[in-house]
Amino acid sequence: MTRLSVNINKVALIRNARGSNYPDLIQVAKDCERFGAEGITVHPRPDERHVTYKDIPLLKDIVTTEFNIEGNPNEKFLKMVLDNKPDQCTLVPDAPDALTSDAGWNTIKNEKFLKKTIKRLQNEGIRVSIFIDPIPEMIHGAQKVGTDRIEFYTGPFAHDFHQNKENSIQPYIDNAILAHELGLGINAGHDLNLENLTYFKKSIPNLLEVSIGHALITDALYFGLHNTIQMYLQQLK
């Protein structure tokens, strides 16, 4: 089974817009798990427009499934992760002013940095995943830096899905096979939704986890959070 981790960043964004605690992010995380989510993902950004650093220990205390913290591994981020020890840390090479993540790591260019950072996290019992594009050289590089898992950046797949879904999925199939052969676990995320998720899941062998936030929270506006999480789980069966 492929696990569904719900990214609650957009819930925090709504909360922050009014400077109050409404909606209550901690209660939403609890409810996501109660409604069937198999993990909670957060991506605290430098400007804290979504989940804030103060939210992290509160979430760590209440998440009972799998807690995944993702972000650019600057020193402030790494200290926060090491202080809170999530089940998984996903390293993402996004710029401080990025609207959203839009590319994976160059595992060759950043080999030394990634090796050091990954080992530092693993030494504290944290599973590490790195955000990556479906490119063979980058997959081989991921194995070399010692990561436990990769997370495919699925933005290009989602963008091209309606034009030619067979062409859009093929690089992910090929590189998922390669990653599995190299002993890497496979996660995926970015712009996966109710229209493309089943096709992606059925096409990708050994897919362990998907992290979905924007589309899921948007769908919840129409269908309700409980129904939406169940709909996404159904797509993964």
Catalytic residue numbers, as ranges = 43, 70, 190
CA distances from 149 to 16, 47, 60 (A): 32, 27, 21
What does the block give as tokens for 214?
């924007």
193 close to 158: Cβ distance less than 8 angstroms: yes
Contacts for 69 with CB less than 8 Å, ≥ 6 apart: 41, 42, 43, 44, 56, 80, 81, 84, 86, 88, 89, 90
130 close to 167: Cβ distance less than 8 angstroms: no
What does 196-232 look like in DSSP terms, one character per residue? THHHHHHHSTTEEEEEE-HHHHHHHHHH-HHHHHHHH
- Number of alpha helices (DSSP H) and beta strands (DSSP E) in the chain: 11, 8
Rg (alpha carbons) of the chain, rounded to whole number:
17
Contacts for 56 with CB less than 8 Å, ≥ 6 apart: 42, 44, 69, 80, 84
| Secondary structure (3-state) at 71 | strand
Give the C-alpha separation, 185 to 165, whole Å. Answer: 24
